[in-house]
A and B are shown apart, each in its own frame.
Chain A
Amino acid sequence: MNVLLYLVPLALGLGLAGLFAFLWSLKSGQYEDLDGAAVRVLSDDDLTEESRK
Chain B
Amino acid sequence: MSAWFETLRRESLLVLRKKSDVLNPLVFYLLVISLFPLGVGPAPSILARIAPGVIWVAVLLSVMLSLERLFRDDYRDGSLEQMLLSVNGGAGLILAKVMAHWLMTCVPILILSPLAALLMGVPDSAVSAIMLTLLVATPALNMLGAVGAALTVGVGRSGVLLSLLILPLFIPVLIFATSAIDAAAMTLPYIGQLSLLAAFSAGAITLAPFAVIAALRISVQ
Tell me, yes or no, whether A binds B.
no
B residues with CB within 8 A of A: none
A residues with CB within 8 A of B: none
